Structure 1
């Protein structure tokens, strides 16, 4: 679990730094670039399209884990738009909240006794 937490922390710190530099160089104009690359039908767009489905899967899992409650729907939106910045924080918090129990991290309240 310590290795997993270190991975999440490294991802979070790396993404915060990279995102900060990108914003300072290019502003917050992500969506037109993201969808513009997809519209161009080239490899950057293919990557973005693939990544968008990973974001959707992350959001769906987050909502399912929280039983599609209002909280779960809100967290799902954060997962979709926040990507790994959200997921690294969410999983880090869950890793401590569940005392490192990976089954509880992944399944939430869906665990059967």
Structure 2
């Protein structure tokens, strides 16, 4: 679990710092570029579509883990704004809340207990 937590902290740091540099150079106007690349049907768009699918899977998993409660749906939608750093923070917090129990971390307390 320690190595996994270190990986999560590395993702948070590396992607976070990278994002600061990109925002400083290009601003926050991501969506037209992101979806514009998808519309062009080229490799950058393919990567964006693949990444969007991963975001959708991550968001759906968080919503499911929280039994599609209002809070779970809200936490799930945050994946689309926060990407890998958000999901890494979520998993880091969940790992501590579950005291390192991977089953509970992935399934949630209720499903893990069943």
TM-score computed with the length of structure 2 as normaliser: 0.96
Q: Quick one: distance in 1 between partners of 2:92 and 2:30?
A: 26
TM-score computed with the length of structure 1 as normaliser: 0.97
Q: What is the Cα deviation at residue 80 of structure 1?
A: 2.5
| Cα RMSD, aligned residues only | 0.8
Q: What is the Cα deviation at residue 112 of structure 1?
A: 4.3
- Matched length: 113
Structure 1 residue ranges (4+ consecutive) displaced by more than 4 angstroms after TM superposition? none
Q: What is the Cα deviation at residue 82 of structure 1?
A: 1.4
The answer as to whether partners of 1:55 and 1:83 remain within 8 angstroms in 2 is yes
Matches for 1:3-14 after TM superposition, within 5 Å: 3-14=3-14
Q: Quick one: distance in 2 between partners of 1:25 and 1:110?
A: 45
Structure 1 residues without counterparts, runs of 5 or longer:
none
Q: What is the Cα deviation at residue 79 of structure 1?
A: 1.5
Residue 89 of structure 1 corresponds to which residue in structure 2?
89
